[in-house]
Every structure is written in structure tokens, then in C-alpha cells.
Amino acid sequence: MRYNTLKPRGIREWNEKKYALKLYFHKTSIFELCKEVMYGGKDLPGNSYGIITSCAGSLKSYNDKKPNPSDPGRVGQIFFTSLEERLNKDFEPFGSSVNMTMFFDEPYSEFYFSVPEKLRSKFPKPRNGHVPIDPTTSSDQIHYAMLMPRGAKFETVREGLDRGRIDQKFYYLTPESAQHWLEVVDSPEYPQYEECKAALECFLQDKVWQEFITSKNFGGIVLLGAGAASKDISIIESALSNKLKNENEPALYYTLIDFSNNMLHASFQEVDASLTDSGQKPKVNLRPLVRDFMDLSGTTEIIRPSGKNVAWFILGGTIGNINEEEFIQSIRREARAGDLFIIGAETVGAETRETMRDLLVSKYKNTAVRNFVMAPLRAAWHDLQIGGDISRAFDKILVDVTVGKENIHSAVPRAATVELSVMSSAKGFAAFMHRVMGAPRLQESKDNRKIVLLTSTRYDEIELVRFVARRGFQLQETVTSPLNSLYKQFVFSLLPSGKI
């Protein structure tokens, strides 16, 4: 097979450049990047959502093609014209400039070295640029120490597979996980990140939140699950603008918890860069905690150093990937009366199982999700003799939706769970079960065996509220996303004990 390596058709090293732009503008998704570059600081026109969505769609295609400069009305072209203006406004005071032709055709390292030295730390170093470590690195560039309990041990992919169950944790534990997660966020079939962020923005402006953070009992914020730096930035900005108007206020305690170092690091890099740029860093005490949030015992000193009330957030539908009972009990053990507990989740509408299935097939059967689930399994697949070629097996990812009593994945009644699975040959799987799990050796069979890769649950609104309320929390309000009426932030507070 011959490859044409000479002339890339799209923007050269576009993935690396896209990531650099997101980091520079402190944006997690391509949608947010488009919004910032095209409208940053300006009023949004009425049709802006459509324009930004279309621009984000174009930006996703620039690995294979370049924006067409002879068509200045196209959103992709408008994005790059605005980008050139924005970057030059920042670069020119230092005597340098950038032009988009160079940006499209030259490697990322060329662009990086055209950035004025004073601003270079805002961009990631080129992957292959052999950039020497700068001995004058300022303390601004030193990141926070990750907090990790002594003796903490995290399961490896191999250990998890040996248990015979593919746990969603593994998808976040590979070195590529943060990148793969951002690709999922950016895929057109996955609008949930923006939907959740829009509902969050509404909540951050409402009375329940404003009263909570301005109260004298407010003692910090805890984010359960990284991977959403722009949501962290919005929450921090809202707390700082409301609470810390007074110079003498103590720093805001903001703890971000994730068992994945990679996910935590990626989020902290973005949040830290944003705080450094806005000069707000001294006002925030960021605490990245490597920990499984299914058991937070012993973390009170970190999470609640002042002993006052904290707000717990679990956003982006993460609750739909985990055991809800275990999770709510874990928070219930650590929460104090008066704490807020905010759960971002998608609810089920009136659609039939078939319609829901059709909708979800396209959402979950795309390249980004496929890369996301395949990465941790690739190494183990052949070793485990699961059978067949992994890429072929993943070409046939099955998407199913289980509802009601059939739904073994969720503890919440009437929930609908999407299940992603692949079929492996029964022979390979039986050999694996025999070798690793000590199962009896099976006769060779033509039947295939299903391996569940990922589950994601959406909820009946009333049942979810009842489920959480029965465990001691009281619903304060639900905030609906302006982008999808089925996506909501459920806002609870913990009742004084005994009032369940």
C-alpha cells in the first residue's frame, strides 16, 4: 500500500493545533472555542447557536480539508479571520504576528516559536519539537501537587479484565484517555457536554446557588469527576464574583476528585491556566484529589477544611455510568446537613424504546466513542484470546436499550440504560474463562458471547428524585437545559439527620 505523506490535504497537525487553541482560550470543547473566537466579549446574535454549531462542524473536518479562502462568508473562514485578529491583538504588543496561511501549512512547532516568548507558556510545547526545558520556568507554570492517599492502589486494565468484567473506569486510565474523552465531547453526535454546561450556567445565576455561596456557612466546592474544565471555570468564576468581593475573604476551596491522574491533570492544566491569566489564582485553593468517589472516607480535612457547608457536583451524566446506590451512599456518608448536592443527568421523554434505540445508536456508534472504548482493551485483547480481530469486533459494536424491570444496570426504577457491547467468539471467551477464572472447559460452540463495554443510564425524573430523596436529600429545584429539555441539573440539599 502506498501512502501520500508529502502533502497533507487538511490543516497540518490540526489535532495538535486545535488542542493548543483550546488551551490558550481555556475552552474544553470545539463548540466553546468557536463561540469564544467568533464572539468572545461581544453580544451573541439570536442565531448564534446555529452558527457556532456549524462552525464547530467545519472545524472537525480540517484534518482532511482546508477552509476555502475564496469563500469568506463560510463559517470556517470567519473563524480563522477572527482567530488571526485575536492572536495578532495579543502578539503585536510584543512585536510578532501570525498569519493563517502559515498556521495551515507549517508544523505546529513553527507556530509555537512564532508566539512571543512572554506568551509561549500559554501554549503546549510541540510534541515532536524537542523543546529544551526552560531553566527560568516561572512558578506560574508549576502545577499543583496531586493529593493521593498513601497506599492507594488502582486496578490495571489487565486486573479488571481478569475479573471478567469491563469496568468503565479503564477508559479513563490510559494515557490517551483525556484526549479520547475530548474527542467524544467534540463529536457531533454527543451534544451532552454543551447541554449540561448550559443548564449549569442557568443554575449558577439562580437564587438557590447565589444564596448558598453568599451564606456565611459556605465552605467550598467539590467536583466529582474531571473532564469538564470549562464547567469548573464557570463554577469558580461564579463563586468568586459573588462571594469573594471582599479582599479579606479566605481563598475558595475547590476540590476536584477523579481516580484518573490523566483526567485530573488535563482539567487542572486548563483551570490553572485560566486562573493565572485572569489573576485570580491567589483567590482559589485548588485541590486535585486522586480518589475513587465511591469511598471518600478520610477526606474531610481536604474537602471541608473550614468545617462549613460544601456543594457537591456530579455533572455530565456521570451518575448514569456508575452504581447509583453505592454512589449516593458514599456522598451521604461524607455530606453534612445544609450541603448542596447537584446531579446533572439526562431524563427519558415519551419516546418508545425503538425510537430511543435509533437515536442512541448514532450517538454511541461513532468513531470517537469507538476509539474511547477500544484504547484500554487493545493491548489485552489477543493476550486474553478473546478471539477475532479487535478492530473487526468493534466494527460490530451493538447498541441496545434496556428499560423497566429488564434493566439490570440501574438501581433507579423506570430508568433506561444504553448498553454498548461487542460479540467475541465463544471459543476464545470460554478459553479465557477457563484459563483465568477457572470456569469449566466448554464444548466448542457456534454461539457468540456478549461483552458489555459501557452502560449509560437516563432517568425517569420523578423516580430519580424519589431515589435520592429516600437517601436523605431534599430536592430544592430542577434546572432544565435551554439546549435540551430532557437534560437537567437536579439540585438537592442534605436534611439534618433523622429527617429522612
Interacting residues with ligand SAM between 370 and 399 (CB under 6 A): none
Interaxial angle between packed helices 48-59 and 30-39, expressed in degrees from 0 to 180 and rounded to the nearest 10: 120
Q: Is 368 in the site for ligand SAM (CB under 6 A)?
A: no
| Helical spans, DSSP H, in 27-176 | 30-39, 48-59, 75-91, 100-105, 108-114, 157-162
Beta strands in 240-328 (DSSP E): 252-258, 284-290, 309-314
Q: Is 259 in the site for ligand SAM (CB under 6 A)?
A: yes
The amino acid at residue 143 is H
Q: Is 263 in the site for ligand SAM (CB under 6 A)?
A: yes
The residues that bridge with 490 in the sheet, in sequence order, are: 343, 478
Cell numbers describing residue 97: 504576528
Candidates 1-9, 158-166, 252-260, 296-304; binding stretch for ligand SAM (CB under 6 A):
252-260
Residue nearest to ligand SAM (CB): 316
| Helical spans, DSSP H, in 26-99 | 30-39, 48-59, 75-91
Options 25, 103, 172, 432; binder of ligand SAM; rule CB under 6 A: 172
Q: How far is the CB of 345 from ligand SAM (least distance, A)?
A: 11
Residues 6+ apart with CB under 8 A from 465: 475, 478, 490
Task: Report the distance separating Cα 257 and Cα 267, nearest Å.
Answer: 11
Interacting residues with ligand SAM between 273 and 292 (CB under 6 A): 292
Binding track, positions 180-199, relative to ligand SAM; x by CB under 6 A: -------------x--x---
Q: Is 260 in the site for ligand SAM (CB under 6 A)?
A: yes
Candidates 76-84, 131-139, 239-247, 315-323; binding stretch for ligand SAM (CB under 6 A):
315-323
Residues 6+ apart with CB under 8 A from 99: 84
Binding track, positions 317-336, relative to ligand SAM; x by CB under 6 A: -x---x--------------
Q: How far is the CB of 233 from ligand SAM (least distance, A)?
A: 12
Interacting residues with ligand SAM between 125 and 154 (CB under 6 A): none
Q: How far is the CB of 383 from ligand SAM (least distance, A)?
A: 24
Q: How far is the CB of 129 from ligand SAM (least distance, A)?
A: 28
The amino acid at residue 453 is L
Q: How far is the CB of 402 from ligand SAM (least distance, A)?
A: 20
- Degrees to nearest 5, angle at CA 169 with 168 and 175: 115
Q: Is 155 in the site for ligand SAM (CB under 6 A)?
A: no
Q: Quote the DSSP letter at residue 11.
A: S
- Say how many C-beta atoms besides its own lie within 10 A of residue 381's C-beta: 20
Q: Is 293 in the site for ligand SAM (CB under 6 A)?
A: yes
Concatenating the DSSP letter of every residue in 306-363 gives TSSEEEEEE-TTGGGGS-HHHHHHHHHHH--TT-EEEEEEEB--S--HHHHHHHHHHH
Task: Report the distance separating Cα 347 and Cα 461, nearest Å.
Answer: 6
Q: How far is the CB of 27 from ligand SAM (least distance, A)?
A: 14
In the complex with ligand SAM, which residue's Cβ is closer, 13 or 186? 186
In this structure, the chain runs to a length of 500
The residues that bridge with 254 in the sheet, in sequence order, are: 221, 286
Check if the beta carbon of residue 227 is closer than 8 Å to that of residue 372. no
Binding track, positions 211-250, relative to ligand SAM; x by CB under 6 A: --------------xxxx--x-------------------
Q: How far is the CB of 277 from ligand SAM (least distance, A)?
A: 22
Kindly state the number of chain residues that form the binding site for ligand SAM, as judged by CB under 6 A: 20
Q: Please report, as ranges, the residues that interact with ligand SAM according to CB under 6 A.
A: 172, 193, 196, 225-228, 231, 257-260, 263, 292-294, 315-316, 318, 322
